[in-house]
């Protein structure tokens, strides 16, 4: 376990600390649940090379892209791409599922990162992303004056969930699922974090929006799209009078129909 001192600038480095490992365990469970039933052909993880957040997904092609490559690539990755999140080297509308762990906080241009996510996703594609919640015990500890910063210090600030919802809405994303977690006080050691693990159940029930971390799943909606189905022709119901007229007409036609019976002399 890394014994790096706070403050830490890099998000990936912060996640190697004991509080960071606590966050990773929570996020792994959330990502596994949110991506397990997402179907398609191409799945992409952007950032966090030390964690495979697509392991529970069953798409045939799963790739990783980021400014750092995994130190020990697993067999799950079909491709590894060295790229910046603000400029992904993929065709527009070519990715069915994209996971973005703490990608907005690790970038100086979070708006551009989201625009790039929207560009590469297919219509009805899904993005699952995570971030630190500034309105939590960890966020309060991070902003307390005269104390060293608690959360990583990237070039951009932490993005609150209401702000994230506004950004996603502007890009025609619809949030479907989400989770808050890590309600424990901001302890630095695994011992005290696990000792206060009972707070998780209480926090999830009594102050659910105050978790230190959130994980959100959103779907890219495209205006004007609809499912094309076969056009079935249905007979219009006849009124009572019309039914009687139709019956009389049919009877008249049958009576005038020629027969092959010989006539009597």
At residue 249, the pLDDT reads 53
At residue 139, the pLDDT reads 86
On whether residue 173 sits in a domain, the answer given is: yes
On whether residue 256 sits in a domain, the answer given is: no
Q: How far apart are CA 110 and CA 100, in angstroms?
A: 11
Q: Average model confidence (pLDDT) for the chain?
A: 82
On whether residue 139 sits in a domain, the answer given is: yes
- DSSP 8-state symbol, 208: G
Residues of the chain with pLDDT > 70, as a percent, come to 77
Structural domain range at position 164: 11-220
Q: What are the backbone angles phi and psi of residue 67, rounded to the nearest 5°? A: -80, -10
| Alpha helical stretches, state H, 87-131 | 110-120
Helix (H) or strand (E) holding 260: none
On whether residue 264 sits in a domain, the answer given is: no
On whether residue 252 sits in a domain, the answer given is: no
pTM: 0.78
**Model confidence at 255: pLDDT above 80:** no
For the ranges 24-28, 149-153, 162-166, the lowest mean pLDDT is seen at 149-153
**Model confidence at 192: pLDDT above 60:** yes
Indicate the number of domains in the chain. 1
On whether residue 227 sits in a domain, the answer given is: no
On whether residue 67 sits in a domain, the answer given is: yes
At residue 159, the pLDDT reads 86
Q: Give which of 51, 58, 49 is closest to 85, Cα–Cα.
A: 49
On whether residue 86 sits in a domain, the answer given is: yes
CATH number for the domain spanning 52: value is 3.40.50.150
Give the Å distances, CA to CA, from 207 to 9, 180, 229, 253, 262.
Answer: 29, 10, 45, 78, 95
**Model confidence at 243: pLDDT above 70:** no
């Amino acid at each position: 376990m890394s014994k790096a001192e706070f403050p830490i600038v890099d998000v990936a480095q912060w996640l190697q600390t004991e509080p960071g490992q606590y966050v990773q365990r929570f996020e792994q469970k959330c990502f596994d649940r949110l991506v397990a039933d997402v179907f398609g052909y191409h799945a992409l993880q952007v950032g966090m090379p030390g964690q495979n957040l697509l392991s529970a997904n069953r798409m045939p092609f799963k790739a990783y892209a980021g400014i750092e490559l995994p130190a020990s690539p697993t067999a799950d990755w079909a491709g590894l791409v060295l790229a910046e999140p603000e400029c992904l080297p993929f065709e527009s509308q070519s990715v069915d599922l994209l996971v973005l762990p703490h990608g907005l906080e690790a970038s100086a241009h979070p708006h551009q990162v989201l625009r790039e996510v929207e560009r590469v996703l297919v219509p009805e594609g899904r993005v699952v992303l995570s971030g630190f919640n500034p309105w939590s015990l960890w966020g309060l500890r991070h902003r307390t004056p005269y104390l060293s910063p608690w959360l990583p210090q990237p070039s951009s600030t932490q993005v609150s969930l209401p702000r994230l919802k506004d950004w996603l809405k502007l890009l025609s994303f619809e949030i479907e699922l989400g989770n808050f977690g890590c309600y424990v006080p901001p302890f630095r050691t695994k011992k005290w974090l696990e000792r206060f693990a009972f707070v998780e159940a209480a926090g999830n029930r009594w102050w659910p929006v105050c978790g230190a971390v959130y994980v959100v799943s959103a779907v890219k909606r495209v205006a004007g799209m609809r499912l094309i189905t076969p056009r079935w022709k249905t007979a219009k119901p006849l009124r009572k009078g019309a039914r009687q007229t139709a019956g009389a007409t049919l009877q008249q036609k049958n009576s005038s129909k020629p027969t092959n019976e010989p006539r009597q002399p």
